[in-house]
Structure 1
Amino acid sequence: MKKLFVLVLICFAQIVQAQKTYIYCGKLIDGISNAVQKQVTIVVDSGRIKNIINGYADAGNTIKVIDLKSKTVLPGLIDCHVHLEAILSTNTLLEVFTLTDADIAYRSVNFAKRTLLAGFTTVRDLGGSGIDINLKKAIESGWIEGPRVFAAGKIISSSGGASDPSNGFRDDIFHHSGPNDGIADGRDELVKAVRLQIKAGADVIKIASTGGVFELGDNNKKAKLTIDEIKAVVETANDYGLKVACHAHGAEGIRRAILGGVTSIEHGTYMDDEDIKLMKQYGTWYVPTIIAGKAVADSAKKGYYPPVIAGKAIAFGNQIQKTFAKAYKAGVKIAFGTDAGAFDHGKNYLEFGYMVEAGMPPMEAIKSATSNAAILLGKENELGSIGNGKLADIIAIDGDPLNDISTIKNVVFVMKGGTIYLK
């Protein structure tokens, strides 16, 4: 009996030992340091990083080894602005009338997997119909493969604002939208709209303080919420421990959002010097989405959209990279975000090239999608860097992104939470 007990203990010890994985890294960008480490072993156990060892540690016979000696290893990338349920096309406006929630959900499964395999192990999905919350649950339950999702649910805006589906259409085509749909006016309705999204399972609240590009007949430079209304949203979200992301193109809407206490400005296309000064003063994050501007402008030039949308799209594309360059040079805090869905999912990496082209060094661009993005999410103790105790979100690429940022698209290995999805 004693021998049997000892044998069981030995077998159990071997099983526990076998849970460990050693990852041999030729080069390691940890997401925090500016220095690149060479010949490093990352020890992964039970979904987390347990140790980082200089050199290639002896794994023995019971530890799984992943050989990435010829690769550059990074933390899993984070995209702070995606829409996994959407993809813009020539049919986008028509799809409002033709696609059911089920259609959208099935389509989003493919988009989620593409995003993960492109090296983005975490995303902040900034909303749409609310299906992003269901998608997040499906991924967490292991039903489908995709990135870790922080979901906003339905976007909250005023009547006639960026997410009002009836903009430009006859009133009798759509039912009158209200807080249940994310359309709210005044403090009471906005508080209710926030609470309904939290009840539905939102991790972050998304509002729109200006118009957008894709509404019919709307001017995306105009402010659509008052400072007091924005404060009501922020106070309510903060009561539940949630942050507020704000879609804003025009300078006045950006200014109101900052003064109202939002955590991040999304797009920020026409921000002015006063906005930049306030963003630095209040510590507001900027999520630029340069690739979205480039993509929608290109689509507009190809005739994808009616003239009222095309004009706004082209102006957005012409301005957004210039705004990013100005904000970066001024020292505004920047987190990586693409607005994926305005272009093909899985090509989120294109944003890095535009950031570098506008003057941001490659290492800073990488940090914007790792440690900086994790701070914006409030998850810097779990995500965004290769460090002891962090979740084992690890990717590897062929090439050196510090010498050629475009190589960041060459993803050959993806691990999320210790599970390998691409090797």
Structure 2
Amino acid sequence: MRYALLFVWIGCLCGTAQAQQLLVKNVTVIDGETGIRPRKASILIGNGIIQKIYTKAPRHIGNATVIDGEGKFLAPGMMDAHVHLATVVDEDIRKARLQTDSIMGNMVRHGITTVRDMAGNAPYLAACRDDVRSGKTMGPDIFFAAQFAGPGYFDLIRRSGRDGDLGNSAWYRALMSGMNVATAIQSAKAAGVTGIKIYADLDAALIREITEEAHKAGLKAWSHAAVFPCKPAAVAAAGVNSMSHANDFAFQQLPGDTLEIGKAWQALYRKEFQLDTLAQIPLLRQMALQNIFLDPTVFHAENNKMHSAAIVTRLAHALGVQIVAGTDWIYPNTGAIPLLQEMLLLQQKCGLSAAAVIQAATLNGARACGLSDRGAVRKGMRADLLLLSADPLQDLNVLFQPVQVFIKGKPAL
């Protein structure tokens, strides 16, 4: 069916060189926001965006190519909001790009049309992003972060064998009190980042200063939940836009105003450790009040025996914190996609409905990046869409087996 639809599209284009629009008729729309119920509609796409949504299918629209969506479903393209495509880049750039391009192609084939890369080599990521946007490479649209941490963190990374300009580049920046944070932020912005990833070895005052300067520069502040020696409450109090890794919230219950990283992790991995949800409730309520997104990475946590992540995520969702689907996991060139596992865990272990899980992987990811042009099926939004053979609200697996993927209204498969 996928190829039949594609041949119809190509045939129409060949027969009508002027064709600029696409009409998906009589399809059931899954909007991307839980409050909007599925509805039968016809979607007109032109110039890469959704031009109009008809409740009653029009008989004819100029030179529009028509796809019959009867019995099918249309959903927003998905977003993995926590990936790492360029943490370590092979010295052979051509070889590295072949690998990355293959991974990105696999993402698109499985319905992922946008990613948030949470720290990597900025020039490399910018080149990948530009090639995708120009049509040279098939891949998801890429938004990426610069990683800010204290000098002690980068020293630790060097001792583990990593070399290069760690801590001295615009995208891997070592900061300490007294340094010019605003200048560092501007350098990161010039490198093309959308947000600053606040990572480790920073005190509460510096976390707040990074957050404030990022916002002044029009960038997002994305943070680990625990930025040692700071606890999660200090991160939330700084007013960041999103916090990653739900398991890190367990550090909030450990004694002391600040934590030593080694001892803190030892405490969490002791057999007798039990998550105290009463210690999490005030923090999660603060996040909900401040509209701070939670990027829980439950799949990553479960694979590392960090079972507090699912409990914290369930509680956060119940308290009104907006959940963002991200994996922080290695993506393959072919086959299984980690985002599916994250979404199934959000549904099965964290109490999210299928509709809420879809919102976590579409609209919430876009909002966490400050994007208002995607993540839902609405007039004026980018036509990053998935045509599906069955209802994803009944089975999330369907999202990863699209009949067709459209990126800016064009078939990507």
TM over 0.5: yes
1:285 to 265, 279, 293: 293
Q: Is the CA contact (8 Å cut-off) linking 2:226 and 2:235 kept in structure 1?
A: no
Distance 2:369 2:289 in 1: 20
Distance 1:230 1:361, change over 3 A: same
* Contact in 1 for aligned 2:30/2:37 (Cα 8 Å): yes
TM-score, length basis structure 1? 0.77
> Aligned in 2, Cα 1:156/1:183: closer, same or farther, shift over 3 Å?
same
Q: Which runs of 5 or more residues in structure 2 are unaligned?
A: 1-14, 250-279
**Distance in 2, Cα, partners of 1:167 & 1:229:** 25
Shift of 1:275: 2.3
Structure 1 residue runs of 5 or longer lacking an equivalent are 1-13, 87-94, 210-223, 298-313
Alignment of 1:67-86 (within 5 A): 67-85=68-86
TM-score scaled by structure 2?
0.79
Q: Distance in 1 between matches of 2:311 and 2:154?
A: 23
| 2:117–2:143 CA contact under 8 A, matched in 1 | yes
What per-residue deviation string (whole Å, max 9, x for no partner) do you get for residues 106-141 of structure 1? 321112221122112111111222222221122123
Q: In structure 2, what is the Cα distance between the partners aligned to 1:61 and 1:239?
A: 46
Determine which of 339, 363, 371 is the counterpart of 1:348. 339
Q: Matched residues, percent identical?
A: 24
Distance verdict in 2 for CA 1:46–1:164, change over 3 Å: farther
Question: Corresponding residue for 1:132?
Answer: 125
How far residue 24 of structure 1 moved from its aligned partner, in angstroms, is 2.1
Which residue of structure 2 lines up, in the alignment, with residue 307 of structure 1?
A: none
Give the CA deviation at 1:63.
2.2
The partner residue of 2:151 within 159, 174, 189 is: 159
Q: 1:150 aligned to 2:143?
A: yes
Task: Please tell me the residue identity of whatever aligns with 2:210.
Answer: V
- Post-superposition offset of 1:51: 0.9
Contact 2:246 2:308 in 1 (8 A): no
Distance 1:405 1:364, change over 3 A: same
1:366 is the counterpart of 2:343: no
Alpha-carbon distance in 2 for matches of 1:23, 1:190? 49
Q: How many residues align?
A: 361
Alignment correspondent of 1:141: 134
Q: Which residue of 2 aligns with 1:258?
A: 236
CA distance 1:353–1:413, change in 2 (3 Å): same
The alpha carbon displacement at 1:163 in A equals: 9.4
- Indicate the SS of the match to 1:22: strand
1:175 and 1:335, CA in 2 relative to 1: closer, same or farther beyond 3 A?
Answer: closer
Task: Look up the match of 1:204.
Answer: 195
Distance 1:283 1:167 in 2: 38
Q: How far apart are 1:319 and its partner, in Å?
A: 2.5
Contact in 2 for aligned 1:163/1:183 (Cα 8 Å): no
What's the counterpart of residue 275 of structure 2?
Answer: none
Give the 3 Å change call, closer, same or farther, for CA 276–200 of structure 1 in structure 2.
same
Letter in 1 for 2:340: Y
Match runs of 1:271-282 below 5 Å: 271=249, 272-282=280-290
8 Å Cα contact 2:81/2:295 also seen in 1: yes
- 1:108 equivalent to 2:85? Answer no
- The answer to whether structure 1 residue 35 and structure 2 residue 37 are counterparts is yes
